[in-house]
Amino acid sequence: MNLLYRLLRWGHRFPSFLLPSPFAVALHSWGRRVLWSWITHCHIPVLPFTPPPSGERHCWGLRFRSPLFNAAGVFKYGEGYELSYWHGSGAYLLGTITALPRRGIKRWGIRQPFLSLPRSCAALNTLGLPNPGHHAAARIVERLPRYPGFPIGVSVALDPELKLSEALQRLLEGLRLYSAAGVDFIELNESCPNIPHDPSWRALEFRLRWIAEHFLSRRERSLPVVVKISTDTPVEVLPALLELLLQLGYDGITIGNTSTAYEALLPTIAPSERHLYTWFWHRFGGGISGAPLAHRRRQLISLSAQWIARHATAREFHLLAVGGIMNPTDLREVLSAGASLAQWYTGYLHALATHGDAVYRWMSSSCCAHP
């Protein structure tokens, strides 16, 4: 296992900005897939960690033994469940899953394009939501062993290959499958930049109303549903969106997904990595993740927390923070700002490379002071 972390660390330190851009992206894309599959197939880490009880969170009647867990996209196929538990994560989030299985994007001969920018603590990806589809994912969840204080969530999205009416029906079918499979919470991904969707307010409102009417209001058991939006969401839209979610019966909001503000975020990229960054988004588009999102995430989380505090109702509505959480200080910051829970992806990969099996032990110091 230590050898795999060493390889991950080596991958992070490798000066790929010296390679021609197509080689660097091909190497990163291949390396991510292969190394991740090796790491997640090692079930039990050498150093298991149980988060201290002082870090526990209680949301929607569920106990999260710690507020931090993986963001959607880390475990797309139900892999790494045991590893995540023994590392000390607060929950396990599977997906994003769509109705039909997807292999992800292949462009310019590169499957699931991905680029890590370690000097900028950032990454770019246009994987294109590879996943096994709702039926297979629900069967995977059904078979997972259950651990106390370690809820299982599933991230879902409308299938971009289907017409809207069919995509909504198939999403509904998926939600019912997950409910029957014993999933603890759902995250509705309304913000993936790598699949086509109508981003207009009218279209978003229609989708959210449809799901509320056909699923939320008819839930047979308590199954919280949160909506994940992009870190590019304009601040002016936020109050109306929060009001709509609360009114329709959603249980929280996750802020936020990757950004496509390529030019605006260019100054946050280390000078030595700028040519790779620019080459990637010109060829593939995709979403930016990691430290460059911290500023937008901070702004949106703080505004949302203030709005939620002003509009508190008897019903629980939680704020989940994600985007540029790279270290214990970032985690402490989002929890102090009012987030109930937090997720990470890019920071998680960086921390795994540096801290190996102690990845959640390293982060846990930040959450125990905020019961």
| Measured CA distances, 53 to 58, 65, 86, 88, 99 (Å) | 12, 7, 15, 12, 38
Angle at 313 between CA 322 and CA 149, to 5 degrees: 50
**Cβ of 68: how many Cβ atoms within 10 Å?**
30
The residue range among 202-210, 267-275, 318-326, 330-338 that interacts with ligand FMN, by the rule CB under 6 A, is 318-326
Q: Is 73 in the site for ligand FMN (CB under 6 A)?
A: yes
Q: How many helices (H) and strands (E) does the chain have?
A: 13, 15
**Which residue's CB comes closest to ligand FMN?**
73
Give Cα 281 distance to the centre of its chain: 20
Considering only 21, 257, 304, 340, the residue that binds ligand FMN (CB under 6 A) is 257
Which residue number, 97 or 168, has a Cβ lying nearer to ligand FMN? 97
CB 182 within 8 A of CB 123: no
Q: What is the largest CA-CA distance in the chain?
A: 57
Q: Is 127 in the site for ligand FMN (CB under 6 A)?
A: yes
| Measured CA distances, 85 to 34, 89, 118 (Å) | 22, 6, 26
Q: How many residues bind ligand FMN (CB under 6 A)?
A: 26
Beta-carbon contacts of 52 under 8 Å, excluding residues fewer than 6 positions away, are: 364, 368
Which residue number, 21 or 131, has a Cβ lying nearer to ligand FMN? 131
Which residue number, 198 or 213, has a Cβ lying nearer to ligand FMN? 198
Considering only 21, 66, 96, 364, the residue that binds ligand FMN (CB under 6 A) is 96
Which residue number, 91 or 322, has a Cβ lying nearer to ligand FMN? 322
Which residue number, 71 or 242, has a Cβ lying nearer to ligand FMN? 71
| Measured CA distances, 73 to 22, 236, 249, 255 (Å) | 24, 28, 25, 15
Q: Is 125 in the site for ligand FMN (CB under 6 A)?
A: yes
Which residue number, 213 or 224, has a Cβ lying nearer to ligand FMN? 224
Q: Is 347 in the site for ligand FMN (CB under 6 A)?
A: yes
> CB of residue 89 vs ligand FMN: minimum separation in angstroms?
14
| Measured CA distances, 316 to 88, 212, 250, 252, 298 (Å) | 25, 16, 9, 8, 22
> Which residues from 279-298 bind ligand FMN, rule CB under 6 A?
289-290, 293
Q: Is 123 in the site for ligand FMN (CB under 6 A)?
A: yes
Q: Please tell me the distance from the alpha carbon of residue 92 to that of residue 78, in angstroms, as a whole number.
A: 9
Considering only 325, 335, 341, 358, the residue that binds ligand FMN (CB under 6 A) is 325
φ, ψ of residue 159 to 5 degrees: the values are: -75, 120
Q: Is 233 in the site for ligand FMN (CB under 6 A)?
A: no
Q: Is 364 in the site for ligand FMN (CB under 6 A)?
A: no
Contacting positions for ligand FMN (CB under 6 A): 71-73, 96, 114, 123, 125, 127, 129, 155, 189, 192, 228, 257-258, 289-290, 293, 322-325, 344-347
